[in-house]
Amino acid sequence: MLTDALIAGLTLGGMYALLAMGLTLQYGVARIMNLSYGELLVSGAFAAHWLFTVAGIAPLAALLLVVPAAFALSWLIYRVLLTPLVRRAPNREALEVDTILATFGLLFVVQGVLLVMFGGAYYSYSFFAVPVHLPGATVAANRLLALGFAVVVGALLYLGLTRTRLGTAIRAVAVDPVAAQLVAIDVRVAAAFAFALGGGLVACGGVLVSMFLTFNANLGVVFTMKALIVVIMGGVGNLLGALIAGLILGLTETFVATWIDPGLTLAATYAIFLVTLLVRPQGLFGIGRR
Amino acid sequence: MLEVSNLSVAYGAHRAVDEVSLMVGPREIVVILGANGSGKTSLLKAIAGIQPATPGAHIALGGRELTRLRADQIVEAGLALVPEGRGIFGELSVEENLLLGAFARRARAGEAANRTRVLALFPRLRERMRQEVRTMSGGEQQMVAIGRALMSAPDILLLDEPSLGLSPLLCGELFTAMTRIADAGIGVLLVEQNARRSLAIADRGYVMANGRVVGEGQAVALRTDPAVQRAYLGVAGGSG
């Protein structure tokens, strides 16, 4: 039971961490509060479902199609829809309000399209659903695979952002966009790239989630909320914070569902969120660091 | 050589900088003196491209027009600003700040040599490479800020109040560093409250009041100018 819950919690937490890393790139670097974030996750999940059931492409191969497509789409959204808002905003607060409204609209557009295409029903598919026997538990292989991929993608992202000049430049934009210009960083390009990268990450999360969860067209908002909570808990722009807060949230939800009552998961989520905000409003690990 | 002419900066109806012209040659240290609010910071920001200048201004570096370039392109063209309050990345390490200093394409070829030069200039940074910059003392942060600017291999370095809040000892180190920077072939344009020390190392100076240049000359001449002495060097008026 403990191993069961531990693995389920780590998988869920790994997904949350991945989502939060993407959102923290969009919010921390590009300064876009993207309320349609979860819709891209659901779109990724549907794309994986369609590619698997219709075209026979395995989800992991689907990543090679879905992630670049989501990256390109997000880049386009940033250039066409959000750049005019960035340009006219007199300050960060005004930009936040504008982008919240714009992406709130985008949320309903994407959700509407998904509802037309797939209806409101729950979808799932069976990929690599072989049981794996571990000491004390039996777990579906797809869950372990999703966890493994989340770890690999998260680690690559972390290393890319902390060990390369380009990644450090992206973090620098999150720390101080004016100073970033003073070291020859084109902040507009960096922001578009960070937003697109966040889009690629959340779509990757969507593909991974679709391997072991049932999903429907209305689920996006739930993931947006979870990602937002993890970002705020970990500290905006803080990658390690997102990772750790994601794992804490995933494990807590699973433990509460296993030992107390599945109906209390959401309550538990908001309880830790509230406690974090009360005790450390800047997030568990502060803003803008690694 | 940096040439600025007819540069104005306006905040609404208020003109913070009013038709300023100045020049800085290679290896030259030029100081801008002036009371608080005389427009010195706005002037430097406008030259570096982070504050828009009103139309009609001309800023040229080595004959190349900078006036319509973005701030990041201006760094790429060879002009680096150490802004008021230093503008370093506090949450990043010294190492990362210096790495980003060389983000400009122009800086890549000479990166290793520049790094050696910066660490020779500020040996204190050597042991602090992995430290988060915001946890360092004011003087050390200023070293990081200047070091980061030098990593972009600039032809012209603008410094806004680098000695602000530093101890007299660190101040001395800082001014020595500035002369060494100019000796390396870089033109330095310096805004300073510490008129005595800056005139001691400068070649030339400008005096600003209410956004305008109201005086200019060789540093030697400015040091003995009665008006400058009264206003900025704390010499009592009358006797000269």
Express each pLDDT in B35-56 by its tens digit: 888 999 999 999 999 999 999 9
Interface contact B104-A179, CB threshold 8 A = no
Which two tokens mark A132? Answer: 């794996």
Q: Answer for the pair A204, A63: CB distance below 8 angstroms, yes or no.
A: yes
State the Cα–Cα distance between residues A197 and A153, nearest whole angstrom: 12
pTM of the full structure: 0.90
Residue B238 has pLDDT above 50, yes or no: no
What residues of chain B lie within 8 A of the CB of A241, using their CB? none
Distance from A30 to chain B by nearest Cα, in Å? 17
- Tell whether B239 is covered by a domain: no
Q: Is the pLDDT score of A66 beyond 70?
A: yes
Q: Domain with B183 in it: what CATH number?
A: 3.40.50.300
User: What 3-state DSSP class applies to A132?
Assistant: strand
Give how far B103 is from chain A: nearest CA, Å: 6
Q: Which two tokens stand for residue B121?
A: 């200039």
Instruction: With H, G, I as helix, E, B as strand and everything else as coil, classify residue A81.
Output: helix
Say whether B87 and A289 touch across the interface (CB within 8 A): no
Give the pLDDT score at A91: 86
Q: Searching chain B, which residue's CA lies closest to the CA of residue A288?
A: B91
Domain contains B37: yes
Q: If DSSP codes are grouped into helix, strand and coil, which group holds residue B18? A: strand
Condensed to tens digits (0 to 9), the pLDDT of residues A102-159 reads: 999 999 999 999 999 999 999 999 888 888 888 777 888 888 999 999 999 999 999 9
Its domain, for residue B190, covers 2-232
User: Does residue B193 form part of some domain?
Assistant: yes
- Judge whether B237 lies within some domain: no
Question: Which parts of chain B are beta strand (E)?
Answer: 2-11, 14-24, 29-34, 58-61, 64-65, 79-82, 156-160, 187-191, 204-209, 212-218
Would you place residue A289 in the very low, low, confident or very high pLDDT band (cuts 50, 70, 90)? low
Task: Answer yes or no: is B86 within a domain.
Answer: yes
Q: What is the mean pLDDT of residues A51-80?
A: 95
Share of chain A above pLDDT 70, in %: 98
Neighbours of B202 (CB within 10 A): 27
Is B10 inside any structural domain?
yes
- For A181, name the nearest residue in chain B, comparing CA atoms only: B72
Q: Could B92 and A175 be called an inter-chain contact, meaning their C-beta atoms sit closer than 8 Å?
A: yes
Residues of A in contact with B72 (CB under 8 A): 181, 184-187
Of B72, B92, B96, the CB nearest to A186: B72
A182 and B92 within 8 Å at the Cβ level: the answer is no
Give a three-class secondary structure readout of A215-268. Answer: ECCCCHHHHHHHHHHHHHHHCCCCHHHHHHHHHHHHHHHHHHHHHCCHHHHHHH
Q: What percent of chain B has pLDDT over 70?
A: 98
Which whole number is the average pLDDT over B125-147?
95
Does a structural domain hold residue A65? yes
Q: Give me the pLDDT at residue A287, please.
A: 61
Residue predicted with more confidence, B233 or B136: B136
**Count of structural domains, chain B:** 1
Q: Rounded to an integer, what distance in angstroms lies between the CA atom of residue B178 and that of residue B197?
A: 11
Q: Which helix (H) or strand (E) holds A131?
A: strand A131-134
At A133 the pLDDT is 84
- Whether residue A124 lies within 8 A of chain B, CB to CB, comes out as no
Determine, yes or no, domain membership for B109.
yes
- Reference A184, options A203, A164, A166, A201; nearest CA is A166
What residues of chain A lie within 8 A of the CB of B48, using their CB? 182
> What is the Cα–Cα distance from B5 to B49, expressed in whole angstroms?
15
Burial of B185 (0-12, 13-18, 19+ CB in 10 A): exposed
Edge-to-edge strand ranges of the sheet holding B2-11:
B14-24, B2-11, B58-61, B64-65
pLDDT, mean over chain A: 91
B88 vs A contacts (CB less than 8 Å): 179
pLDDT of residue B240: 37
User: What letter does residue B67 receive in the DSSP assignment?
Assistant: T
Distance CA B159, CA B148 (A): 12
The DSSP symbol for B39 reads S
Q: Is the pLDDT of residue A90 over 90?
A: no
Q: Does any CB of chain B come closer than 8 Å to the CB of residue A172?
A: yes
Residues of B whose CB is below 8 A from A181 = 49-50, 70-72, 75
Q: What is the mean pLDDT of residues A20-36?
A: 92
Find the distance separating the first CA and the last CA of chain B, reported in whole Å.
35
Q: A178: distance to nearest CA of chain B, Å?
A: 8
The rounded distance, in Å, linking the Cα atoms of B158 and B42 is 12
CA–CA separation, B59 vs A157, rounded Å?
41
Out of B72, B92, B132, the one facing A181 most closely (by C-beta) is: B72
CB B26 within 8 A of CB B63: no
Which residues on chain B are in Cβ contact (under 8 Å) with A186? 70, 72
> pLDDT-based confidence at B148, cuts 50/70/90?
very high
Contact A287 B91 (CB under 8 A): yes
| B44 close to B74: Cβ distance less than 8 angstroms | no
- Of A171, A185, A191, nearest in space to A87 by CA: A191
Q: Chain A residue closest to B85 (CA)?
A: A179
Chain B, nearest residue to A185 by Cα? B72
Q: How far is CA B134 from the centre of its chain?
A: 21
Nearest CB partner across the interface for B91, out of A169, A182, A289: A289
From chain B, the residues in CB contact with A287 under 8 A are: 91
What distance in Å separates residue B127's CA from the closest CA in chain A? 20
Residue B240 lies in a domain: no
The structural domain count of chain A equals 1
| Inter-helix orientation angle A2-24/A187-210, to 10° | 150
Put simply, the answer to whether B75 touches A183 (Cβ < 8 Å) is yes
Is residue A237 scored above 50 in pLDDT?
yes
DSSP-assigned letters across all residues of A93-121:
HHHHHHHHHHHHHHHHHHHHHHHHHH-S-
| Confidence band, pLDDT 50/70/90 cuts, at residue A4 | confident
The one-letter amino acid at B92: L
Which residues of chain B lie closer than 8 angstroms to A165, CB-CB?
A: 99-100, 102-103
**What's the average model confidence in pLDDT over B163-182?**
93
More confident residue, B167 or A138: B167
ipTM for this model: 0.90
CA-CA distance, A87 to B28, in Å (whole number)?
Answer: 38
Q: Does the residue A8 lie in any domain?
A: no
Least confident of A90-94, B95-99, B142-146, B205-209: A90-94
Torsion of CA A165, A166, A172, A173, to 10 degrees: 160
Strands B79-82 and B156-160: parallel
A185–B103 CB contact, under 8 Å: yes
Q: Which residues of B touch A289 (CB under 8 A)?
A: 91, 132
- Cβ–Cβ gap B91/A175 under 8 Å: yes
